[in-house]
Structure 1
Amino acid sequence: MNGSRPWWESAVIYQIYPRSFQDSDDDGIGDLNGITERLPYLVDLGVDAIWISPIFRSPMKDFGYDIADYIDIDPIFGTISDFDRLVAAAHARGIKVILDFVPNHSSDQHAWFVESRGSRNNPKRDWYIWRDPAPGGGPPNNWLSEFGGSAWEFDPTTAQYYYHAFLNSQPDLNWRNPQVVEAMREVLRFWLGKGVDGFRADVIWHLIKDAQFRDNPLNPDYHAGRPPNEALVPLYTTDLPEVHDVIATLRRTIDEFPNRLLIGEIYLPVERLVAYYGRDLGGVHLPFNFALLNVRWDARCIQSLIAEYEGSLPEGGWPNWVLGNHDRPRIAGRVGARQATVAAMLLLTLRGTPTIYYGDELGMPQVDISRERVRDPFERNVPGIGVGRDGCRTPMQWEAGENAGFTAAEPWLPLANDWRSNNVAELRGDARSILNLYRRLLRLRKETPALSVGAYRPYAVDEDLLAYYRELNDERLLIVLNLTDRPQALKLEEGAHAKILVSTRAERDGERVPGIVTIVGDEGLVIDLASR
Structure 2
Amino acid sequence: MFRRKFLATSLATAVALSLTSFHGNALAASPKTAAGDQDWARHSVIYQIYPRSFADGDGDGMGDLSGVVSRLDYLDRLGVDALWLSPFYKSPQADAGYDVADYRVVDPMFGSNADFERLLEEAHARGMKVIVDLVPNHTSDEHAWFQAALQSPPGSPERARYIFRDGRGENGELPPNNWPSVFGKAAWDRVPGEKQWYLHLFDSKQPDLNWDNPQVRAEFEQVLRYWLDRGVDGFRVDVAHGLVKETGLPDLPVEEGRENAGALVGPMWDQDGVHEIYRAWRRVLDDYPGKRIMVAEAWVTPRERLTHYVRPDEMHQAFNFDYLMTTWDAGAFKEVIDSSMALTATVGAPTTWVTSNHDTVRAPSRYGLKELGKHALPGNGIGPATAQPDEALGLRRARALAMLTLALPGSTYIYQGEELGLPEHTTMDGRYRQDPMFLRTKGEEVGRDGCRVPLPWKAEVPAFGFGPSDKTWLPQPASYARYAVDRQEGADDSTLNLYRKILELRQELALGSGRLQWADAGQDTLAFDNGDLRVLINMGEQTTTLPAGSQVLLSSEPLAAPDRLPANAAVWLKRT
TM-score (norm 1): 0.91
Task: Compare 208-217 and 320-329 and name the one that shifted more.
Answer: 208-217
How far is 1:246 from its partner? 1.3
How far is 1:385 from its partner? 4.0
How far is 1:354 from its partner? 0.5
The answer to whether the aligner puts 1:129 opposite 2:163 as a matched pair is: yes
Tell me, yes or no, if the aligned pair for 1:320 and 1:352 is still in contact at 8 Å. yes
How far is 1:93 from its partner? 0.7
Query: Structure 1: how far apart are the matches of 2:559 and 2:262?
Result: 51
Q: Which amino acid aligns with 1:334?
A: R
Aligned to 2:144: 111
Query: How do 1:477-492 and structure 2 match up within 5 A?
Result: 477-491=533-547
Equivalent residue for 2:513, pick from 453, 460, 464: 453
Aligned to 1:388: 447
Tell me, yes or no, if the aligned pair for 1:345 and 1:524 is still in contact at 8 Å. yes
CA 1:387–1:246 in structure 2 vs 1: closer, same or farther (change >3 Å)?
farther
Secondary structure of residue in 2 paired with 1:349: coil
The answer to whether the aligner puts 1:45 opposite 2:42 as a matched pair is: no
Equivalent residue for 2:487, pick from 419, 426, 431: 426
Tell me, yes or no, if the aligned pair for 2:254 and 2:260 is still in contact at 8 Å. no
Aligned to 1:265: 297
Query: Structure 2: how far apart are the matches of 1:345 and 1:285?
Result: 24
How far is 1:4 from its partner? 6.4
Equivalent residue for 2:198, pick from 153, 162, 179: 162
The answer to whether the aligner puts 1:89 opposite 2:122 as a matched pair is: yes
Query: Structure 1: how far apart are the matches of 2:512 and 2:315?
Result: 21
Query: Structure 2: how far apart are the matches of 1:6 and 1:149?
Result: 43
Describe the superposition over 1:109-163 as per-residue Cα deviations: whole angstroms up to 9, x where unpaired: 0001111222225432211011111254311111111111111111125531111
**Structure 1 residue ranges without an equivalent (≥5):** 223-227
The answer to whether the aligner puts 1:29 opposite 2:68 as a matched pair is: no
Equivalent residue for 1:499, pick from 551, 556, 566: 551
Identity of aligned residues (%): 40
CA 1:524–1:85 in structure 2 vs 1: closer, same or farther (change >3 Å)?
same
Query: Structure 2: how far apart are the matches of 1:486 and 1:366?
Result: 27
How far is 1:229 from its partner? 6.6
Tell me, yes or no, if the aligned pair for 1:219 and 1:230 is still in contact at 8 Å. no
Query: Structure 2: how far apart are the matches of 1:84 and 1:91?
Result: 11
The answer to whether the aligner puts 1:13 opposite 2:56 as a matched pair is: no
Q: Which amino acid aligns with 1:128?
A: Y
Task: Compare 245-254 and 167-176 and name the one that shifted more.
Answer: 245-254
Query: Structure 2: how far apart are the matches of 1:134 and 1:38?
Result: 53
Aligned to 1:274: 307
How far is 1:325 from its partner? 0.2
Equivalent residue for 1:312, pick from 343, 358, 364: 343
The answer to whether the aligner puts 1:198 opposite 2:234 as a matched pair is: yes
Query: Structure 2: how far apart are the matches of 1:63 and 1:477?
Result: 41
Q: Which amino acid aligns with 1:178?
A: P
How far is 1:440 from its partner? 0.3
Tell me, yes or no, if the aligned pair for 1:217 and 1:234 is still in contact at 8 Å. no
Q: Which amino acid aligns with 2:216?
A: V
CA 1:173–1:480 in structure 2 vs 1: closer, same or farther (change >3 Å)?
same
Equivalent residue for 1:376, pick from 432, 435, 443: 435
Task: Compare 379-388 and 422-431 and name the one that shifted more.
Answer: 379-388
Query: Structure 1: how far apart are the matches of 2:504 and 2:272?
Result: 41
Query: How do 1:89-488 and structure 2 match up within 5 A?
Result: 89-119=122-152, 120-136=154-170, 137=172, 138-156=174-192, 158-219=194-255, 230=261, 234-258=265-289, 259-269=291-301, 270-278=303-311, 281-313=312-344, 314-335=346-367, 336-367=394-425, 368-400=427-459, 401-407=461-467, 408-449=469-510, 451-471=511-531, 476-488=532-544
State the structure with bigger RCO (CA 8 A, min sep 6), 1 or 2.
Answer: 2
Tell me, yes or no, if the aligned pair for 2:538 and 2:569 is still in contact at 8 Å. yes
Query: Structure 2: how far apart are the matches of 1:302 and 1:30?
Result: 35
Describe the superposition over 1:403-460 as per-residue Cα deviations: whole angstroms up to 9, x where unpaired: 11002132100113212222111111110111111000000011112x1211112213
Query: Structure 1: how far apart are the matches of 2:268 and 2:446?
Result: 21
Q: Which amino acid aligns with 1:101?
A: L
Query: Structure 1: how far apart are the matches of 2:446 and 2:463?
Result: 26
CA 1:220–1:14 in structure 2 vs 1: closer, same or farther (change >3 Å)?
farther
Secondary structure of residue in 1 paired with 2:133: strand
Q: Which amino acid aligns with 2:434?
A: R
CA 1:385–1:305 in structure 2 vs 1: closer, same or farther (change >3 Å)?
farther
CA 1:429–1:506 in structure 2 vs 1: closer, same or farther (change >3 Å)?
farther
How far is 1:98 from its partner? 0.8
Query: Structure 1: how far apart are the matches of 2:263 and 2:304?
Result: 21
Query: Structure 1: how far apart are the matches of 2:416 and 2:248?
Result: 42
How far is 1:261 from its partner? 0.9
Query: Structure 2: how far apart are the matches of 1:460 and 1:300?
Result: 13
How far is 1:462 from its partner? 4.5
Query: Structure 1: how far apart are the matches of 2:46 and 2:263?
Result: 34
CA RMSD of aligned residues (A): 2.1
Task: Compare 50-59 and 374-383 and name the one that shifted more.
Answer: 374-383
How far is 1:51 from its partner? 0.5
Aligned to 2:385: none
Tell me, yes or no, if the aligned pair for 1:500 and 1:526 is still in contact at 8 Å. yes
Query: Structure 2: how far apart are the matches of 1:383 and 1:329?
Result: 19
Secondary structure of residue in 1 paired with 2:105: strand
Task: Compare 18-27 and 374-383 and name the one that shifted more.
Answer: 374-383
Query: Structure 1: how far apart are the matches of 2:243 and 2:521?
Result: 40
How far is 1:386 from its partner? 4.2
How far is 1:383 from its partner? 3.9
Tell me, yes or no, if the aligned pair for 2:252 and 2:260 is still in contact at 8 Å. no
Query: How do 1:51-66 and structure 2 match up within 5 A?
Result: 51-66=84-99
Query: Structure 1: how far apart are the matches of 2:276 and 2:58?
Result: 43
Query: Structure 2: how far apart are the matches of 1:151 and 1:417?
Result: 38
CA 1:456–1:221 in structure 2 vs 1: closer, same or farther (change >3 Å)?
farther
TM-score (norm 2): 0.85
Q: Which amino acid aligns with 1:246?
A: I
Query: Structure 2: how far apart are the matches of 1:429 and 1:75?
Result: 36
Tell me, yes or no, if the aligned pair for 1:267 and 1:290 is still in contact at 8 Å. yes
Residue-pair matches, total = 508
Tell me, yes or no, if the aligned pair for 2:310 and 2:349 is still in contact at 8 Å. yes
Tell me, yes or no, if the aligned pair for 1:133 and 1:160 is still in contact at 8 Å. yes
CA 1:265–1:219 in structure 2 vs 1: closer, same or farther (change >3 Å)?
farther
Describe the superposition over 1:477-520 as per-residue Cα deviations: whole angstroms up to 9, x where unpaired: 1100012342112446xxxx642222113689xx9x7xxx4212
How far is 1:256 from its partner? 1.6
How far is 1:83 from its partner? 0.6
